[in-house]
Amino acid sequence: MVMAGKKNPFQGRQFTAEIILWAVRWYPQFPISYRDLERMFADRGVKVDHTTLFRWIQAYAPELDKRIRPHLRMTNGSWRVDETYIRIKGEWVYLYRAVDAAGQTIDFLLSPRRDAAAARRFFRKALKQPHTVNPRTITVDKNAAYPIATKAMKRAGELWHFAKLRQVKFLNNIVEQDHRRIKRLVRPALSFKSFVTASRTIAGYEAIAMIRKDQIVSAPANDMKAQRDFIAALFSAAA
């Protein structure tokens, strides 16, 4: 879906920006279904169908992810990389994720395959982000695709030549623990209906997680009001 316009991303919507951003903040943050969210809106006196809420998340969750990137704190050069599994239409796909040694999110990528090409795509995507640095160490599991991908990237000059790949599973506990939040959020959805739907929704999960992890200077981890105001400002909407 394409945003309605640069100046007013909510142009043409039946509901106000404030109401739409309730959904953008709440759904990716809590393990709820769209029907649960519909009831939450009704409790606030807003009658909105769960299918409309779904469309809002598909439109604005990836936009939130894109807009927060320039505001993220810099991550460090110790990468912890791992994949977890997401079900789409009854089939398993792979969610590549990386955090730094402090647990800050580096990046994520949904992929239909788990191979060297997918690992390389993920590393390339992560290295393009404004809050990342070329890693000193990359800690991964025993997946044979990672050495192939990193060697190819070093030869191509895409990865620092002295970056050290460590295939030590127990050192990756920090990213494996971080996967649990994604699993907890995905569970109420039962199964995504398409790869695109999953990608857009997960972008919202990850964006809100980065905010909740204190990766935004102006939106502290435990300050819900500051987080609300920050997201509103990103969309140039009144909080």
- How much is the pLDDT for 138? 97
Taking the C-alpha atoms of residue 149 and residue 147, their distance in angstroms, rounded to an integer, is 6
Taking the C-alpha atoms of residue 127 and residue 148, their distance in angstroms, rounded to an integer, is 17
Taking the C-alpha atoms of residue 236 and residue 234, their distance in angstroms, rounded to an integer, is 6
- How much is the pLDDT for 130? 95
Q: Which of the 8 DSSP states describes residue 133?
A: -
Name the token pair of 41. Answer: 């809106």
- How much is the pLDDT for 187? 82
Nearest of 189, 206, 187 to residue 197 by alpha carbon: 189
Q: Please state the φ and ψ torsions of residue 135, each to the nearest 5 degrees.
A: -70, 145
- For residue 182, give the H/E element and its range: helix 173-186
Q: What is the pLDDT of residues 63-84, one digit of tens each?
A: 999 999 999 999 999 999 999 9
Reduced to 3 DSSP states, what percent helix, strand and coil does the chain have, rounded to the nearest 5?
A: 50, 15, 35
Domain extents in the chain: 17-71+193-234, 78-181
Give Cβ neighbours of residue 193 (< 8 Å, ≥ 6 apart).
Answer: 88, 89
Mean pLDDT over 183-209 rounds to 90
Name the token pair of 211. Answer: 């905010």
Q: What is the pLDDT of residues 174-190, one digit of tens each?
A: 888 888 888 889 887 66
Domain over 78-181 is classified CATH 1.10.3720.10: no
Give Cβ neighbours of residue 149 (< 8 Å, ≥ 6 apart).
Answer: 116, 117, 119, 120, 123
- How much is the pLDDT for 111? 97
